[in-house]
Each structure stands twice: as structure tokens, then as C-alpha cells.
Structure 1
Amino acid sequence: MHVSVVGNADDSVVVTIRGNLDIDNGTTLTTTLDQVLDRPAPRVVVDLSGIEFCDSTGLSALIVGHNRAAEGGGWLRLAAPSEFLGRLLDTVGLTPRLAVYQTVGDALVGRDAD
């Protein structure tokens, strides 16, 4: 798995993940989210377009990140999940709780949530 972080001029952050988000490397995402969420009112978009597989460890990292962002007065939004990941998020009941957007741009401005 590869994770990259890009900060924007408006203090929002885009975390891009490529590969498998599973028990073998879920701590990489958790560690990255811990770092970007360690600021007042964090605004984080997680770009999921490169995720090939996600298990419960990956889902847990996203939920914990979402909760931590909300507790800090900010948000964590998910962007561009594959068809597989979109169905997984629906199946386990996370789409009503986590904001999911079709594109990173939509997630940054908070429009057209799925």
C-alpha cells in the first residue's frame, strides 16, 4: 500500500491511498490519519480511487478517523471509492454515517454526497 498526503492552501488535506487496505498495512493509514487529524478543526479528504481491496481493519481506520475529526470540530470525507468499495460501505451501513463523494473535488467543497 502507498499513502500520500497533500496539503491545500485552505488547510484541507487530501490523503490518497493506493493498493490494499487490510490487516497487513492498515496501521499505515491509521498513523497517517493520526498525523493529519492532530490539528484544530481538521478537514481531510481520503481519496479511495486506488483501493483494490479493503477489509474490516481498513474500514475501522476510516471510522476512527471520521470520529476523531468530528470530535476536533472538523470532518473526514471519503472520495471516489471503486464500485467494490462503494458496495462494501453500503453493505456494512457506513454510507449514512460517513460522507462519500464521487470525486476529490466534490469532497473538498462538500457537494453531491452519495
Structure 2
Amino acid sequence: MAEEPVPDSGQAGQRGGLSVVTTAIDGVRVLHLTGEIDHHTCEPLQQALNTLTADRPRVVVDMSRVTFMDSSGINTLIVAYENVTAANGWIRIAAPTTPVLRVLQLVRVDDLITCYPDLSQALAP
């Protein structure tokens, strides 16, 4: 798998506890998140998801370094799911940590957005 930076996306710096780094791997946009996702920190994630412009976007959200997520993160993911599927694309979650997976399962977002145990499985066709 070839990994390349996505032009004009770069890195959304650390803002109140969440960092979002965007790359592209074999044509799939990968958002690598680090930190906590809550009302005060979800803006970088929203911005990264709002810049999806491809016809049939393919997105993987790598949550292997996310330590906390509240309803703001859930809402952001649901809006992204709606936007991406409306454009005939897909979105997947890779490697959610145990506390994040628990939240995703509790509100059944994992029924909407498929969760994979690691990034390589989420990137598989």
C-alpha cells in the first residue's frame, strides 16, 4: 500500500486535545486521530471530514490513539456517514480503542459504520 500526503490537508494541529493528520493510502483518505473527541475538540475532525470532495469518497478514520469520545464525536461521524454515502462512497473506522468502541457499540454506530480491528483491515477492498 502506498501512502501519500493529501494536498492542502496536511495536519490540523493539536487543538484542545485532538490532533488530525490526513493521508491517502491507495486512493483512500485516512484520518489519523490522536487525543480526545468532545464538544471542545471535535472541530478539526469536522473540518477534515468536510473537505471530502471526491465523487465516491472512501474514508478510514483511524481511532487507535483516541482515548475518549462523547456524543459530539458520534454526531460528527454520523453526519460524515450521511455525506459520504450520499456521494456513493464509504467510511470505515479503524482500530477504535476499548473505551471508544464501547461508546460506538452502546449507541449502535458500529451498525452504521463498520469498525475494523486495525488499519490494514479497514483499507482492504
- Report the alpha carbon displacement of residue 25 of structure 1 after superposing the two structures with TM: 1.3
* RCO comparison, higher one (Cα < 8 Å, 6+): 1
Matched AA of 1:6: T
Once residues 124 and 89 of structure 2 are traced to their aligned partners in structure 1, the CA distance between those partners, rounded to angstroms, is 13
Structure 2 partner of 1:52: 67
Structure with bigger strand share is: 2
1:38-74 C-alpha deviation (Å, 9 max, x unpaired) = 2110000000011011111111111111111111011
Q: For the residues of structure 2 that align with 1:81 and 1:71, how far apart are their CA atoms? A: 24
Give the gaps of 5 or more residues in structure 2.
Answer: 1-17
Cross-structure match for 1:7: 24
Q: C-alpha distance in 2, partners of 1:79/1:29?
A: 15
Percent identity between matched residues is 31
Q: Which runs of 4+ in 1 moved over 2 A?
A: none
Normalising by the residue count of structure 1, what TM-score does the alignment of the two structures yield? 0.90
1:59-98 alignment, distance < 5 Å = 59-98=74-113
Instruction: Quote the offset at 1:13 in angstroms.
Output: 1.0
Please, what TM-score do these two structures have when normalized by structure 2?
A: 0.83
